[in-house]
Structure 1
């Protein structure tokens, strides 16, 4: 039997009411949960702020990088710097046109701008718009005023170009003066070394046996014995020459087989001769001669002597020093009976036995030397003028350069190649200084072109007179080290890292060294 509809209605209404209450209850629970969660998130955010408010801590402020700010095109610092640069250009033009009142206005605002930029750099803070506005406004007004004075771009460019050229000329003059002063310092003797020279010169004149011994030594047969090892040295520095001799004999087993031919100028001859006659060099022969003894070296036989004698700006001492440097080109004339010699500069220190150089196979070459070319440096075009037709037609601009300082010289090959005549030829062609400016090395590179045999680099390490960063291992393995450059080891400006290599060959117990208070 079917139920009536009236029986379903009370049950349906109660079911709907129950569902409504359930839904409301669920919404209330969700709302309560959301409230609790939100309240839980807010409280932790407030706590740190309360802690910060009760504690005082130094918060580091990041300093501005002034250089980076200056390079940023949108920064106020960069804009002020550009305005200041342009204002300086107009300042120069205003002074040249006699507008001194306007120049004074520019100078005042430029100083204000410099002051603002300096403060920003010191404080490490960026320039604010409030700080920059008055300065930038005034500079802009003055720049516009300069344009009204017809200081246009073309005028500015031409004026600045003339100033740049003037500055370049001043830089060139300063560079030349610096080089000249450097050479003067390198060639001068400290007063302590001059003190030694004075004492030795006094001994020469007060002790006649020294002069007699010097005359006897000039006629010694050892000077012409080709079975001995002959070294040539041209110097006006007594102690420097002594270091060369001491360091050489310290590295050989039989010093008595060594002969040093030392040539000096007239001023230092007495001191040089007295030093090598009064001191013991372990049986090594050291003969000292004066450049004045070479009567064959005159204006009629040598264009060099003619050029040096005709130099009105040079005094006699300067001409003597120059002549000493060029005597290396006359070794066959100075020692006509010898066959092979080793040429040493007076700023050399010997660290190995050099006698194997006398048995070196030179393959018919005149001179042996260490090459100095590295990549594009020290090539022939760095020393002589290849725009000269005589040079460009006869030489390779990429030919490797080499160094004086330690050189093996085959005098038989020299005479066969007539190398002295080649030297005279190039000396005459360079009378106007258009091939090379100064120095003996360019003359040597041309005179011995094709006549040089390269030596192993370890025979001769250069640069101790100017290079602060030579590898210590290279110095230790070197047969000789060369203090070429202006920083000589006997000068105060010498590089301290290398000085001990030279000073260890000085006898500090010698009475003259002690009395003159020489110190390493």
Structure 2
């Protein structure tokens, strides 16, 4: 073998076998005297041991193969020292084949110690790989969430284009402003014999879909009244759109939240909190690293998002309203909601605790005694987005004062983080009437696996989540539900799309 290594001879697999046999014969000759000296002891062993079975057993083959692999590794070193790289490669290749053979044998039941496998080391290695993969997956999830949040907050170019055209119309056409003044005092806006809906939004196209889908599925659309509140920037846009388009004879009112003089920091704790330096730092600077991306959404800083707690102040003469978010699509006639018996409750809503994580303890800090002493952590959550509000019962229970109390208690942000649902769960606790689930189906903005039968039976479908239907990242399966109520024939929409 040494000669082959020196002269560069090629060693084949049969050659390796001969080498193994020669090595075994040599070992046998060396060990023979020892065996003869222990004949007394071995005689007993020979009588009880079948050498043929032992030699031919899988255990023996594995042991012998492992020993010869160790010898072959030594020859690899010798070959490399004599610069016989070809021989070293041949031996290494055969060693790898033998290792593969042992691995397969181990998988079929051979014992790990016979194959010289260090299981503990393997497990530790696998754990470290799994941990590294988990860290990468977590980082990717955070990054995906941030990108999704940015995409959800961005205004699509087509929608921005539409806003610009409508604002120009509002400023350029005095007739629109005159028409708005005439409709502002319509008696239909306060007629409790009609069906009143309220929408608080700064998105004209989304609001248009809500209105259009509602009137399109109503049995008597002329009996519907829509109360829209937006901000100062989008007020002209909303007015121009709804004054220039007919929605099956329904009545539509548009108001500017900035004209609500009563809605100020001295009256509403939420206004004071949103204008505070701490709140500005929470959403814009300072605390960014400690806040989940979805909790930094600008919607939480929008006053429009909190107007739902002030509906009786906005519409003091109304008795019952249906509140709709701007990311819903109506598929059935909603007028039967107004005749539902709420059994003295203020809020009619669909409960969401069919999913285990939609219970009170998931939204509120029950380690605080103010919460734990007054609320059941397993109480069922419910959804905003399609709610029936009995405003007479609201005033009787002084619901807005309850909301103010909880906002003041949470001035330091220790009872809940952000949003309107946590304070809603507290404010309407014991005042909420569960509705049939088919009235309001949620999740079209994040859940790809909603049952088609559930969607088809729903009176209202809700695109809650980042994947809004007017964005490119919308879930394609659900987008047609929203698109069918967009008037693509409108010249402004055609111009803005192209």
Q: 1:424 aligns with which of 391, 399, 404?
A: 404
1:385 counterpart residue number: 365
Which whole-Å deviations, capped at 9, do the CAs of 1:208-251 have from their partners, x for residues lacking one? 01111112222111111111100000111111000000000011
Matches within 5 A, 1:350-389: 350-374=330-354, 376-389=356-369
- 1:189 to 1:127, Cα distance in 2 relative to 1, 3 A: farther
Contact 2:300 2:418 in 1 (8 A): no
Q: Check if 1:505 corresponds to 2:478.
A: no
Gaps of at least 5 residues in structure 1 are 1-73, 75-119, 134-152
1-side partners of 2:259 and 2:142: how far apart?
35
Matches within 5 A, 1:256-267: 256-267=222-233
1:192 counterpart residue number: 158
2-side partners of 1:304 and 1:174: how far apart?
35
Q: 1:306 aligns with which of 272, 275, 281?
A: 272
- Tell me by how many angstroms 1:318 deviates: 4.5
Matches within 5 A, 1:95-494: 127-129=96-98, 179=145, 181-310=147-276, 311-313=279-281, 318=298, 322-374=302-354, 376-494=356-474
1-side partners of 2:492 and 2:303: how far apart?
29
SS at match of 1:496: coil
1-side partners of 2:303 and 2:144: how far apart?
23
2-side partners of 1:265 and 1:403: how far apart?
24
Contact 2:324 2:386 in 1 (8 A): yes
- Tell me by how many angstroms 1:445 deviates: 0.4
1-side partners of 2:157 and 2:405: how far apart?
41
2-side partners of 1:470 and 1:413: how far apart?
35
Which stretch shifts more, 455-464 or 186-195? Answer: 186-195
1-side partners of 2:251 and 2:357: how far apart?
40
SS at match of 1:267: helix
2-side partners of 1:219 and 1:398: how far apart?
47
1-side partners of 2:139 and 2:416: how far apart?
19
2-side partners of 1:204 and 1:320: how far apart?
29
1-side partners of 2:247 and 2:318: how far apart?
22
2-side partners of 1:126 and 1:429: how far apart?
73
Higher relative contact order (CA 8 A, sep 6+): 2
Gaps of at least 5 residues in structure 2 are 1-62, 64-92, 103-120, 285-296
Which stretch shifts more, 323-332 or 424-433? Answer: 424-433
Contact 2:351 2:383 in 1 (8 A): yes
- Tell me by how many angstroms 1:129 deviates: 4.8
- 1:129 to 1:173, Cα distance in 2 relative to 1, 3 A: closer
- 1:172 to 1:260, Cα distance in 2 relative to 1, 3 A: same
- Tell me by how many angstroms 1:419 deviates: 0.8
SS at match of 2:497: coil
2-side partners of 1:380 and 1:296: how far apart?
32
2-side partners of 1:505 and 1:412: how far apart?
33
Q: Provide the TM-score with structure 2 as the length reference.
A: 0.69
- Tell me by how many angstroms 1:433 deviates: 1.3
> Considering only CA atoms, is the larger Rg found in Structure 1 or Structure 2?
1
- 1:204 to 1:445, Cα distance in 2 relative to 1, 3 A: same
Q: How many aligned residue pairs are there?
A: 368
Q: Any runs of at least 4 consecutive aligned residues in structure 1 with deviations exceeding 4 A, and if so which?
A: 129-133, 170-181, 317-321
SS at match of 2:492: helix
SS at match of 1:226: coil
- Tell me by how many angstroms 1:309 deviates: 0.9
- Tell me by how many angstroms 1:174 deviates: 7.4
SS at match of 2:366: coil
